[in-house]
Amino acid sequence: MKSDNKPDVCVVGLGYIGLPTAAVIARAGCKVLGLDVSQKVVDTINRGEIHIEEVDLDGLVHGVVSRGLLSASTEVAPADVFVIAVPTPFDKNHAPDISYVLAAGRTIAPVLKHGDVVILESTSPVGTTEQMRDMIAEMRPDLKVPGLTSEIPDISIAYCPERVLPGRILEELTNNDRSIGGVTPRCARKALAFYKRFVRGECVTTDARSAEMTKLVENAYRDVNIAFANELSIVSDKMGLDVWEVIRLANRHPRVNILSPGPGVGGHCIAVDPWFIVHGAPDETPLIRTARGVNDGKMHHVIAKAEALIEAHPDAKVACLGLAFKANIDDFRESPARFVASRLVRKFGSRISIVEPHADELPIEFTDTGVSQIDIDDALETCQILIVLVDHDVFRVVPLAERADKLVYDTRGIWPDQPRVVREEEARLKLVG
């Protein structure tokens, strides 16, 4: 460590989590090297620019790069603290893929030295931090590794999950509480001292396995509760009820707080992480597994309703509003809106237009489909059917006067004042009741 007592930090993986984390640590005065396998990402950051959309991130990255506090590379270098934020996807059988984490561990192992702290932030199945520790121990038999030595270990290893909300990442990185799980209590203390440099929220120490499970549980909790709302929306369609009205009223109960239905559940976290629990305990997780099925099934319900509406109006032009997996972001991973829109485009071709203010161009599956990307004003001018798939603010603020004559299928409930024409339409099409 340098004389000013600020650790040099290496952040491995410069995506939605790693880049803001690297920038926030640099803002705290630490010298940060960002490591990524993508040369394009590295070059972009070294120009002081960013490759993802996140509120206020561009200014922060520009500032810390120009002050020489953040630089990026594809080559690892020695540091005092290593923070790993690489992807943890699942495979086609929903089994977690921790190969990126192990690859990151393999990359840093050769440069580890006495006193270093290694922190895994990627969402990981229980036991991953210990697996990474075992791999480092194998690669570096010269180092005393925590949990595998009776002496004071040379390095510390901890798991500290991220619970930020896209669109508010910089604020939440600093202000959210953190769970810090050490492979040993000493590791947790070392990691805690590091996070205290830039986190204002409360940092609670625990063991690595509990911290890993905590992150998975948080997202499974959200998934199960959203599944309840989505199931209610399907039941309400069947019974000819307005689910938003039902939820609004039920939530007046002091101990009821039903979440909002939508076109499904997407993103890199809530739609993925529950599977890590199911995979670890397949016979003990009927509820979590079922919730995943309900949320995925909601996409097909939305597609069927939208198709029926579009087929009943063969001359109408249709706008799908939104592709992102949630409001006001440019992240399209595992997005149910994207899935629904692509299915409608496949069936109805150029009758469909897409409005996605957070995309410069449409994702690959829309190439050569005849679909056009238009803005919300074009959609209001030229389309008779509007299918709301994402609750972006830019859609939410469209006043009733500009959409009163449209046929609207609002999967996000952003326009409670919309005339009930679609519900009457549904009854006519025998979609409900």
Q: Does 85 bind ligand NAD (CB under 6 A)?
A: yes
Which amino acid, 78? P
Q: How many residues does the structure list for the chain?
A: 433
Q: Which of 6, 8, 15, 313 binds ligand NAD (CB under 6 A)?
A: 15
- Using the rule CB under 6 A, give the single segment among 1-9, 83-91, 390-398, 412-420 that binds ligand NAD: 83-91
- CB of residue 361 vs ligand NAD: minimum separation in angstroms? 18
Position closest to ligand NAD via CB: 15
- Which DSSP string corresponds to 27-82? HTT--EEEE-S-HHHHHHHHTT--SS--TTHHHHHHHHHHTTSEEEESS----SEE
Asked if 37 is part of the footprint of ligand NAD (rule: CB under 6 A), the reply reads: yes
Question: Least distance from C-beta 331 to ligand NAD, angstroms?
Answer: 7
Report the catalytic residues.
Answer: 215, 269
What residue type is assigned to position 335 of the chain? S
Alpha-carbon dihedral 426, 376, 20, 212, rounded to 10 degrees: 0
87 binds ligand NAD (CB under 6 A): yes
Least CB distance to ligand NAD at residue 77 (A): 13
Nearest-approach distance from CB 73 to ligand NAD, in angstroms: 10
Instruction: Tell me the CA end-to-end span of the chain in Å, nearest whole number.
Output: 69
What six digits make up the tokens of 409? 């299928």
Cβ(378)–Cβ(358) below 8 Å: no
Residue linked to tokens 């409930």 = 413
Stretch that binds ligand NAD, among 6-14, 244-252, 299-307, 311-319 (CB under 6 A): 6-14
For ligand NAD, the binding residue among 7, 23, 31, 36 (CB under 6 A) is 36
Of the pair 95, 250, the CB lying nearest ligand NAD is at 95
Q: How far is CA 121 from CA 85, 175, 406, in A?
A: 5, 17, 46
- Residue 407 near residue 422, CB atoms below 8 Å: yes
Instruction: State how far the Cα of 290 lies from the Cα of 262, in Å rounded to an integer.
Output: 17
Using CB under 6 A as the binding rule, the residues of this chain from 39 to 68 that contact ligand NAD are: 41
Q: Which stretch binds ligand NAD (CB under 6 A): 30-38, 245-253, 298-306, 342-350?
A: 30-38
Question: Cβ of residue 85: shortest distance to ligand NAD, in angstroms?
Answer: 5
Is-contact 270 226, C-beta < 8 A?
Answer: yes
Among 7, 166, 261, 413, binds ligand NAD (CB under 6 A): 166
- Does 35 contact ligand NAD by CB under 6 A? yes
Among 7, 10, 11, 16, binds ligand NAD (CB under 6 A): 16
Q: Is 121 left (phi over 0), alpha (psi -120 to 50) or beta?
A: alpha
Chain centre to alpha carbon of residue 311: 34
Among residues 44, 122, 295, 353, the one that binds ligand NAD under rule CB under 6 A: 122
**Pairing label, strands 352-355, 372-373:** parallel
CA atoms within 13 A on the CB side of 337: 32
Q: How many residues bind ligand NAD (CB under 6 A)?
A: 27
Task: Work out whether 88 is an interface residue with ligand NAD (CB under 6 A).
Answer: yes
Q: Where are the beta strands (DSSP E) in 74-149?
A: 81-84, 117-120
Contact 69, 29 (CB under 8 A): yes
Helix H segments across 240-375?
Answer: 243-250, 273-280, 286-311, 336-348
Listed residue (388, 326, 335) closest to 362, CA to CA: 335
Segment contacting ligand NAD (CB under 6 A): 97-105, 233-241, 297-305, 389-397?
Answer: 97-105
In the region spanning residues 241 to 270, those forming contacts with ligand NAD, defined by CB under 6 A, are 268-269
CB nearer ligand NAD, residue 109 or residue 385: 109
Contact region with ligand NAD (CB under 6 A), list: 12-20, 110-118, 134-142, 295-303 = 12-20
Stretch that binds ligand NAD, among 11-19, 281-289, 389-397, 420-428 (CB under 6 A): 11-19
Indicate whether 18 belongs to the interface with ligand NAD (CB under 6 A): yes
Name the site residues for ligand NAD (rule: CB under 6 A): 12-18, 35-38, 41, 85-88, 100, 103-104, 107, 122-123, 162, 164, 166, 268-269
